[in-house]
């Protein structure tokens, strides 16, 4: 069975910290949702680093 965790926060750095912690604990993936009030264009999303 695969394990996933939610790592959504209002501050991107906190999302990365939670995702890193989850990876260190052996989880298979994380679910991160962008804050509803931050507009994200396709350009911004395509420049987001993939980890």
Domain membership of residue 22 as a residue range? 4-47
The secondary structure of residue 41, as a DSSP letter, is -
pLDDT value of position 37: 64
pLDDT value of position 25: 92
Say how far apart CA 43 and CA 4 lie, in whole Å. Answer: 27
- For the chain, how many structural domains are there in total? 1
Does 21 score more than 70 pLDDT?
Answer: yes
Does 38 score more than 80 pLDDT?
Answer: no
pLDDT cut 70: percent of the chain above it: 88
The residue whose two tokens read 């396709």 is 42
Indicate the helix (H) or strand (E) that contains 50.
Answer: none
pLDDT level of residue 50 (50, 70, 90 thresholds): confident
Say how far apart CA 2 and CA 21 lie, in whole Å. Answer: 16
Phi-psi region of 14 (alpha: psi -120 to 50; beta: other; left: phi over 0): alpha
Does 2 score more than 80 pLDDT?
Answer: yes
pTM above 0.85, yes or no: no
């Amino acid at each position: 069975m695969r394990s996933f965790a939610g790592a959504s926060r209002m501050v991107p750095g906190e999302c990365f910290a939670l995702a890193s912690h989850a990876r260190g604990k052996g989880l298979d993936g994380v679910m991160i949702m962008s804050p509803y009030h931050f507009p994200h264009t396709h350009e911004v999303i395509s420049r987001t680093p993939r980890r």
